[in-house]
Amino acid sequence: MTVPNVLLSGIVGSTAYGLAREGSDIDRLGLFAAPTAQLHGLHRPKESHVSTAPDRTLHEAAKWCRLALGGNPTAMELVWLPDELYEVRTPLGDELIGIRSSFLSARRVRDAYLGYATQQFRRLESRGDGSFSADTRKRTAKHARHLKRLCTQGLELYTTGRLTIRVEDPAEYHAFGERVAADPSAARPLLQRYEDAFTAGPTVLPEEPDEAPVEAWLRRVRAHFYTAGRSAVGA
């Protein structure tokens, strides 16, 4: 998949979290700018490009901003990656990293991270008492690890305004996954603990994101790619 005007792209997912094991997929996420002239036509350009082998998702700049403003955990991690995990990093991408705190709001971070974690828990609950196939058990352990990660990262972001992508103790996450794979109800106390922690706070985040810097950045992107035939900055 070749997509022009990639502004920022990097390795995300289990590899970024430090939870990958032998055979784990390497996931990539990024954002690109559609040529501004294409935004004025009858048919708008595609907003996302998704490929497998390699696993790569690229969102158009405006779509990525909407996702991040909504607190989407997957989108959010792109601007908090360790430097060594970026594969494409342009000046406009650096500007976006520089305003990453503008996307944050207490309500949306709380709702998004706890919401995703609750979804993972419901998947675990639906699998019963652990008497299922080895493949399902493996998926259950993975969902449990991500439930714990979402809770931990979400609370950090909520209380400090910072997001640490790599987990502190990967072995602890894998052990938790195995416990939950054997008994999905074992995830309930952890989820309840984090729900209580979010409720207790405190938070350093504003109740609403600061959209002005985001709007200004997106307008700079549109101005940069306005001239027809401008060369691509990434692929």
Which DSSP string do the residues of 32-88 spell out, in sequence order? Answer: E---GGGGGSSSPPPSEEEETTTEEEEEEHHHHHHHHHTT-HHHHGGGG--GGGEEE
Q: Reply yes or no on whether the pLDDT at 2 is more than 50.
A: yes
Which range (57-61, 211-215, 221-225, 227-231) has the least confidence? 227-231
DSSP code string of 155-224: HHHHHHS----S-S-HHHHHHHHHHHHH-GGGGHHHHHHHHHHHHH----S-SS--HHHHHHHHHHHHHH
Which pLDDT value is given to residue 234?
A: 44
Percentage of the chain lying above the pLDDT 70 cut:
93
- Cβ contacts of 24 within 8 Å, gap of 6 or more: 14, 15
Tokens, residue 223: 């101005």
Closest to 77 in 3D by CA, of 48, 100, 49, 107: 100
Which 8-state DSSP code applies to residue 131?
A: -
| pLDDT, averaged across the chain | 90
What's residue 1's pLDDT? 65
Coil, strand or helix: which one is 21?
coil
Q: What angle do CA 213, 82, 150 make, to 5 degrees?
A: 80
Summarised one tens digit per residue, pLDDT across range 34-88 is 999 989 888 888 999 999 878 899 999 999 999 999 999 999 999 999 999 999 9
Under CATH, what is the fold of the domain 6-102+211-224?
Beta Polymerase; domain 2 (3.30.460)
Give the global pTM: 0.88
The whole-angstrom separation of Cα 130 and Cα 61 is 42
Beta pairing partners, 57:
29, 50
Q: Measured between alpha carbons, how far is 56 from 119 in angstroms, rounded to an integer?
A: 23
Tell me, what's the pLDDT at 232? 47
From the centroid of its chain, how far is CA 97? Answer: 14
167 vs 1 pLDDT, higher one: 167
* Domains of the chain, residue spans: 6-102+211-224, 106-200
User: For the segment 132-158, what is each residue's pLDDT rounded down to a tens digit?
Assistant: 567 778 888 988 999 999 999 999 999
| CA-closest candidate to residue 140, choices 119, 123, 152, 157 | 123
Cα 12–Cα 86–Cα 177 angle in degrees, nearest 5: 20
Q: Give tens-digit pLDDT for 82-129.
A: 999 999 999 999 999 999 999 999 999 999 999 999 988 887 777 655
pLDDT at 127: 63
